[in-house]
Amino acid sequence: MPFFVWCLLSAIWGSTWLFIRIGVQDLPPFGFAGLRFLIASIALWIVFVSAKRSLPKRASDWWFIALTGLVIITLQYGIIFWAEVYIPSGLTAILYTVMPLFGMVYAHWLIPSETMSLTKTTGVVLGIVGVALVFSDQLRVSGQEALLACGAVLFAAITNALAIVLVKVRGRGIDSLALTVGQMSIGFVPLLTLGLVREGSPLDYDWTPMAWFSLFYLALVGSALAFVLLYWLIKRMDVTKTQLIPLSSTLVAVVLGRIFLNEVLSPLALVGGASILGGLLLTRWGFRATRT
């Protein structure tokens, strides 16, 4: 069952890039992202109350939840939804995969038990080389908007990596479900507000059947269900195995983009993507060797 859930999570997270790309064809990005996490937070509040979990009581915990929610939900997903208007879903997933690599660099300075090794450093360098290859390819074949979107996704990955490491350092005493519910509940508000200001009322959106399906798939399956599955999995599987999910989900994203959206990545972009994924695999292997 843990292996089945691992595969299911890989498929779910890999497919979210596809449904973001499909959704932004009909829906404006910021309002779309805000509605996703509004619905997801409602679903997780139901889970939270049903599980009889407790909310944090200290004001400092809520300040921390708010700050990380603005980075992990508002900033990260606002950028990703906007970027997928201009670049393919598979390319977005590939660029975002550098997030764990930068997370290791941050952890080296902030978490004494997670210092960098030669293997990890080599993996990070491979990832950076892959990013450079992807950017050189986009500079050659894409317009200014696509290049800017690539840079924005990279910025989102780097800032989110720092937020995740800070959660490891500072958020250990906060219930994980309460942390996620709080982050989503706070994070969707600026997204919806920005959507109302820039994109108009959601009542005026082009609500096609695929737009509706994309919204509820991302909210209920890609957010609420995925978190519940991950929380179940990390109690039953070695952490190094769960950290390999971004590898498989990125490959799923590229394949689904090719099948359903006819997205074609150039040979140079594919080489860059392989370098990023190879770097991630190397760092995970190095982490496991160090733990052993």
Contact 31, 196 (CB under 8 A): yes
Instruction: State the Cα–Cα distance between residues 31 and 38, nearest whole angstrom.
Output: 10
- CA 61-64-66 angle, to 5 degrees, is 110
Per-residue pLDDT tens digits of the chain, which is 292 residues long = 888 998 999 999 999 999 999 999 999 999 999 999 999 999 999 999 999 999 999 999 999 999 999 999 999 999 999 999 999 898 899 889 888 888 888 888 888 777 777 887 888 888 888 888 887 777 666 778 888 999 999 999 999 989 988 888 888 788 889 999 999 999 999 999 999 999 999 999 999 999 999 999 999 999 999 988 887 887 777 655 676 788 788 889 989 998 999 988 888 888 888 888 888 788 766 555 444 4
The model's pTM is 0.89
**For residues 63 and 81, what is the distance between their CA atoms, to the nearest angstrom?**
26
Q: What is the pLDDT of residue 286?
A: 56
Contact (CB, 8 A) for 261 and 210: no
Domain limits, the chain: 2-291
